[in-house]
Chain A
Amino acid sequence: MNLQLVLDSIVAVCLICGALMSLAAAVGLLRFPDLMSRMHSATKPQVLGLLLMLTAIAIQLRSWSLVPLLVIAWIFQLLTSPVSAHMVGRSGYRTKHRHEELLKIDDLDQVVEAAAQYRAGEYRRAAEAGEKAEEAAAEQQDIALPDRDGPPENARFDDDESRH
Chain B
Amino acid sequence: MMQIVLVVVSVILSLAAAGAIYRMARGPSLLDRVLAADVLLAIIAAGLATDMAINRHLENLMLMVALSVIGFIGSVTVARFVSDKR
Contacts and interface: CB of A to CB of B under 8 A. Distances in A.
Contact of B65 (A43, A73, A87): A73
A95 B58 contact: no
B19 A26 contact: yes
Contacts of B17: 26
Contacts of B69: 76, 80
Interface residues of B, number: 51
Main secondary structure of the interface of B (DSSP, over half): helix
A39 to B, nearest CB: 6
B39 A73 contact: no
Given A18-B49, A43-B38, 18 more contacts: A8-B1, A16-B5, A23-B12, A25-B43, A29-B20, A30-B22, A35-B31, A38-B35, A39-B35, A46-B42, A50-B46, A73-B64, A73-B65, A94-B84, A94-B85, A95-B31, A96-B85, A113-B86
